[in-house]
Amino acid sequence: MALAVSVNVAHQGTYLNIKLSRPLELLELRQLIHAAATDSLGVLGGAVNVDILKFRGDAAVLRIPSDHAQQLWAALSMVTNFHDTPIKIVATARDSLLLGLTAAEPIQV
């Protein structure tokens, strides 16, 4: 007897590697993500759970629920300023597996 296992992809995370045009503090990045989601997607978009897994001033790895990944990616791409200062966010990689995302990054020694 075979055991069938189904996975609900909508509840899995999508990993997004982003680069910022200028460095931010961790709390500022959290505020920026929330503001971008709320401005583009409304109150419900601002309620999407985003985990910041890795942060380095001008770069971060985010985990987003898969069913909201495309919308949040678009919202982040449309950001042009934060606290009246120009900023640009570029998503450099997206994957459903964290290992696949980090494998694309060069190893820094």
pLDDT tens digits for range 92-109? 988 888 776 665 555 454
The H or E element containing residue 40 is helix 26-46
Domain spans in the chain, listed from the N-terminal domain onward:
11-103
Q: Using alpha carbons only, give the angle 76, 20, 92 rounded to the nearest 5 degrees.
A: 70
Q: Length of the chain in residues, anyone? A: 109
Topology (CATH level 3) of domain 11-103: Alpha-Beta Plaits (3.30.70)
pTM score of the predicted model: 0.78
From CA 53, how far away is CA 17, in angstroms rounded? 10
Average pLDDT over residues 49-55: 93
**Phi and psi (nearest 5°) for 38?**
-70, -45
